[in-house]
Chains A and B, each alone.
Chain A
C-alpha cells in the first residue's frame, strides 16, 4: 500500500490553479498592456510607497494590540479547567460565524458621529468624538476581525504548559513577574510567532476594513490593488505589480520571523 499516484490529481490541480495564477501575477507585473517586457509597473508601484508604509504601520499596531489583548485571555484560558477553557474558545470563535462584512458594518453603527457610542457618551455630556473614518477605526476593525487568529495559536501552545512547570518555578522562589517573563513567555514563543503572522498578513492586505471604517480616504495596499482590478479602472499590469510587492513583503516578514522554515508548520497554520 505505498500509493503515491492518488495525490497526482491534486498536484495537477495545484499546478494549474495555484502555481500558474501566481506566475501570471509575475508575468503581468513585468509586461505592459501590449505584452512586452517593462519595469514601468514596478517603478510606478513606488508611487504608493507611503501607502505601503502606512499599511505596514497600521497592521503592526493592530498586531501588537492583538497580542497585548489576546495574551492575557489565552493565559486565563490555559489556567482554567478544560471545560471553561473550551467554552471561552467557543465564545471567541462563535462571532466568526456571522459574516465579517456585517460585523464590520455593525461597528460603523457603533462608531458613527451619531452612533451608539457617541450617544452613550452624550448622556454624560461628553463628545461627540470623531471615531469613524479615522485610522483608529481601521485599527479597531483589524483588531476586532483578526484577534481570534492570535488567540488560537496562543491557546494551543499555552494549554500545553503544565501547571507543574509554573508551580515548580514558584516553589523555587520566582516572583509572579519572573514566572511570566522567564517561564510562560519563552515557552509560548512559538504561539506568539504564529499569532503575529496570522494577524499581520490579513491585516496588511485588507481592503474592506479600510473602506468601511476608514471613509475611503485611508487607503491601504489592498484598496489600491482592488482599485486597479475592480475599482476605478482595469489595469492588471499595475495591479499585479502592487500585488507582487505585497507578496514579497509578506514573504519577507515570514522568512525573517522564521515562520516558514520551522518544523510542524501545519500544526500552527491550522
Chain B
C-alpha cells in the first residue's frame, strides 16, 4: 500500500510538472523555436529591456493590486453589513455574490464587454469620452474579486464573539475604536486570506481581461495569448520561471516558519506539561 501510494504520487507529480519543466528548460533555449538548440541565459537579460513584456507585467501588477485592495475594502465592509442582515435580502445579496464565482468565466467576460460597449455608446452620446482600458480592466477585476473577500471574511465574523464589541465599548471605546481595535483585529486572518486570493485570481486571469482590455495596455496573460498564436517568446518563459521560483521561495519560507512555530508551540506545551507534572 505504501509503495503504491508513493508510485502514484510520483506519477501524478510528473504529470503535473511535466509542462512546467518543459517551459523552464525552454527559457534557456538558444533559438526562439520549439526545438532545443543550445543553452543560453540571454532571455533573462533581454526580458527586462523588452518594452511590451515589461508594460504587460506593469499592467498586470497595477490591475491586480488596485483591484484586490479595492475589493478587500469593499468586500470587508460588505461582509460586516451582511453579517447583520437576515432573511430574503441577505440571501438575495449572497446570490449575487456567488454568481461571479459560479458563472463560467467566459460569460462574465462577455457580459462585461456588452456592458462596456453599451456604456461607451451611452456616455459617448452624452459627450463623455469612455474607453476600454484601465477602468474597464480594474472594474472587471474588482467585480470578480469581491466575492472571494466576502466569503473569506464572513465566517470569521460569524465566529467572532459579539460581546467583544460591547465589552470594548463598556471599556470606553467609541464605535470607531471598537471597530478598528476589536472587529478588524478579529477578522484579520479572513481579510488577509481574501486579499491574497483576490490577488492570485487577478494575476492569473485571462478570460475576463481578454474581453475587457483596451487599445493601450494588455495584461501579461493577454500578451501571452496573442503570442501563442505564433510562437511564445522565450522571454515569457524566463519571466514565468522567475515568478514561479519567487512563489516557490515564498511558500517554502512560509512553510518553514510555520513549521518552526508549530514545533515551538509543541515544545512549549510539552514543557508546560512537564512542569505541571513536577508540581503535581
Chain A interface (Cβ within 8 Å of chain B)? Answer: 1-11, 13-15, 17-22, 24-25, 28, 69, 72-73, 76, 80, 83, 86-88, 90-92, 94-110, 112, 116, 144, 147, 201-202, 204-208, 212, 222, 225-226, 229-230, 236, 239-240, 243, 246-247, 250, 254, 265-267, 269-270
Interface of chain A: mostly helix, strand, loop or mixed: helix
Please name all residues of chain A whose beta carbon is closer than 8 Å to the beta carbon of B237 when the two chains form the complex. Answer: 102
Contact (Cβ within 8 A) B81 A95: no
Cβ distance B157 to chain A, nearest Cβ, rounded Å: 11
Knowing A25-B114, A94-B248, the reply to whether A10 touches B204 (Cβ < 8 A) is: no
Please name all residues of chain A whose beta carbon is closer than 8 Å to the beta carbon of B214 when the two chains form the complex. Answer: none
Chain A residue with Cβ nearest B101: A269
Chain B, range 209-235, C-beta contacts under 8 Å to A: 210-211, 220-221, 224-225, 228, 232
- Complex A-B: 17 CB contacts under 8 Å: A1-B179, A4-B81, A4-B84, A9-B77, A10-B77, A25-B111, A83-B259, A95-B16, A101-B225, A102-B232, A109-B26, A116-B22, A144-B15, A205-B104, A207-B207, A246-B106, A270-B148
User: Does chain A have a CB within 8 A of B47?
Assistant: no
With the chains together, A70 CA to B123 CA distance in Å?
Answer: 49
With the chains together, A132 CA to B117 CA distance in Å?
Answer: 37
**5 closest residue pairs by CB, A with B:** A7-B81, A106-B19, A205-B104, A10-B78, A21-B111
Contact (Cβ within 8 A) B93 A7: yes
Chain B interface (Cβ within 8 Å of chain A)? Answer: 5, 8-9, 12-13, 15-20, 22-23, 26, 34, 74-75, 77-82, 84-85, 93, 96-108, 110-115, 117-118, 139-140, 142-143, 146, 148, 150-152, 154-155, 165, 169, 175, 178-179, 183, 197, 200, 204, 206-207, 210-211, 220-221, 224-225, 228, 232, 236-237, 240, 243-244, 247-248, 251, 255, 259
Contact (Cβ within 8 A) A25 B9: no
Please name all residues of chain B whose beta carbon is closer than 8 Å to the beta carbon of A92 when the two chains form the complex. Answer: 16
Please name all residues of chain A whose beta carbon is closer than 8 Å to the beta carbon of B251 when the two chains form the complex. Answer: 90, 94
Contact (Cβ within 8 A) B107 A25: yes
Contact (Cβ within 8 A) A98 B240: yes
Cβ distance B146 to chain A, nearest Cβ, rounded Å: 6
Please name all residues of chain B whose beta carbon is closer than 8 Å to the beta carbon of A208 when the two chains form the complex. Answer: 206-207, 225
With the chains together, A222 CA to B105 CA distance in Å?
Answer: 10
Q: Which of A18, A207, A222, A247 has the most CB of B within 10 A?
A: A18
Please name all residues of chain B whose beta carbon is closer than 8 Å to the beta carbon of A96 when the two chains form the complex. Answer: 200, 204
Contact (Cβ within 8 A) B84 A3: yes
Which of the residues A2, A10, A147, A240 comes within 8 Å of B146, measured between beta carbons? A10
Cβ distance B173 to chain A, nearest Cβ, rounded Å: 11
Contact (Cβ within 8 A) A101 B224: yes
With the chains together, A191 CA to B120 CA distance in Å?
Answer: 43
Since A106-B18, A208-B206 are in contact, a sample of 9 more A-B pairs with Cβ atoms closer than 8 Å, ordered by chain A residue number, is A1-B165, A7-B81, A10-B77, A11-B93, A17-B142, A21-B108, A106-B19, A250-B104, A269-B102
Please name all residues of chain B whose beta carbon is closer than 8 Å to the beta carbon of A17 when the two chains form the complex. Answer: 112, 115, 139-140, 142-143
Cβ distance B160 to chain A, nearest Cβ, rounded Å: 11
Q: Which of B9, B79, B255 has the most CB of A within 10 A?
A: B9
Contact (Cβ within 8 A) B81 A243: no
